[in-house]
Amino acid sequence: MKKMSSTMLSELLKSALILCSENKLRVHSLTFNGNTSNCSAVNKLGAQIFSSNYKDIKYYFSYISDGKEHIVKVILDLCHMLKLARNALASYKEIESPEDIIK
């Protein structure tokens, strides 16, 4: 099965947001799982989901439609993110955090 690239996904998202705006629909947020291509797609739109420095995280992006700037917040699905953490811990058995080893 072929996967959609983050570049293609970001262009589709941008097109969908512009079409929504042109038809008087306001999109306030996008919610999705933490898949790498999803995060890369919103990063290409201007968000910064993951960063080693907390202050660099930007959980939203903006786009222009009808001469107006629109802000869209990015929400990672909490249940799916917990599942990813659980699966990573099951696979690696130990994960090193800045404070200690997580087992």
Dihedral of alpha carbons 8, 81, 86, 100, sign: positive
- The whole-number average pLDDT for the span 29-33 is 92
- For 22-55, b where at least 16 C-beta lie within 10 A, e where not — what string? eeeeeeeebebeeeeebbbbbbbbebbbeeeeee
1 pLDDT higher than 80? no
Three-state DSSP class for residue 97:
coil
- The whole-number average pLDDT for the span 76-81 is 90
Residue 103 lies in a domain: no
Residue 66 lies in a domain: yes
| Arithmetic mean of pLDDT over the chain | 90
Q: How many domains does the chain have?
A: 1
- The whole-number average pLDDT for the span 13-33 is 94
The reported pLDDT for the residue numbered 93 is 87
pTM value is 0.77
Of 54, 44, 56, nearest in space to 10 by CA: 44
The reported pLDDT for the residue numbered 97 is 81
- The whole-number average pLDDT for the span 36-52 is 91
Residue 49: which domain range?
6-96
